[in-house]
Amino acid sequence: MYNRRMRGLEHPGRPIYERIKNLQPKCPLCGIGRVRQVDHHLPKSRYPYLAVAPVNLVPVCGDCNFVKLDQIPASKEEQTLHPYFDNVEDERWLRAEFLIHKPDNGDAGTVDWQVRFFVDPPDVWDPQLGARIIHHFNVFHLAEVYEAQVADELDTLGFMLETVFDGGGCEDVRAHLLDVAHQRTRPRQNNWMTALYEALAASDWYCSGGFTLVAAG
Ligand SMILES: [Zn+2]
């Protein structure tokens, strides 16, 4: 039914396929990629009766569809988030930390840095939901997906922060970063930019001039 009556350009079910694909431009599973196809939340190989059920069809980017494959959850904790039913934006759960490694010889120009994204489920949540988000985060390799976005962002940001620093030093830089983090909480608060900017604001090294080394490196 799905392959012969819905997916092809001339198929009678194609308008429904298109409507689902066009629900939103960005992939709801990673928040980064552009939607390019429709995925079966529960794989049609195992659940053929859900092959054309609209609630089982989710717009996704190519990368998320590729890594998910036909995974079948064996428990509730192994269910990835369903964008139609799982509202996980009431609380903050995506965080990041900015890590630096200073060389033993004290050469400040060769500091290594890294931004690490991770899930920090709120205490008020059912542990099962926290486990699901961690599973979702791992299945779609979201730490790596977000880390891949960071370098370009920090390049541009570094040069902009020089002006802020010249005006009011470290504390102005920190305040600016927190301001951007807050602005980025829309439309959803658990996005990599908010986590990144908060992590940068928490780093004394970054706020007091490290931003120039990061941008140059
Ligand atoms: Zn995606």
**Distance (Å) from CA 80 to ligand 1 centroid:** 13
Rounded to whole angstroms, the Cα distance separating 190 from 129 reads 15
Residue 80 lies in a domain: no
Let me know whether 43 and 115 are in one domain.
Answer: no
Let me know whether 100 and 182 are in one domain.
Answer: yes
Q: Which residues contact 20 (CB under 8 A, 6 or more apart)?
A: 38, 54, 57, 58, 59
CA distances from 74 to 42, 77, 78, 79 (A): 12, 8, 6, 8
**Distance (Å) from CA 195 to ligand 1 centroid:** 18
Let me know whether 192 and 139 are in one domain.
Answer: yes
Residue 115 lies in a domain: yes
- pLDDT value, residue 106: 65
Give the tens place of pLDDT for each residue, 15-67. Answer: 888 888 888 899 999 999 999 999 999 988 889 899 889 999 999 999 999 88
**Tokens for 29?**
């599973």
Question: Residue 59 is part of which domain span?
Answer: 2-72
Q: What is the mean pLDDT of residues 68-94?
A: 89
Which residues hold their Cβ within 5 A of ligand 1, which is an ion?
27, 29-30, 33, 61, 64
Give the tens place of pLDDT for each residue, 165-201. Answer: 999 999 999 999 999 999 999 888 999 999 999 999 9
- pLDDT value, residue 83: 92
Residue 84 lies in a domain: no
Query: Helix, strand, coil: what percent of the chain each, to 5?
Result: 50, 10, 40
Let me know whether 212 and 130 are in one domain.
Answer: yes
- pLDDT value, residue 139: 94
- Residue 108 above 70 pLDDT? no
- pLDDT value, residue 164: 95
Overall domain count for the chain: 2
Residue 26 lies in a domain: yes
Let me know whether 66 and 129 are in one domain.
Answer: no
**Distance (Å) from CA 86 to ligand 1 centroid:** 16
The most confident of the ranges 16-25, 47-56, 106-115, 132-141 is 132-141
Let me know whether 59 and 145 are in one domain.
Answer: no
Let me know whether 185 and 132 are in one domain.
Answer: yes
Let me know whether 105 and 188 are in one domain.
Answer: yes
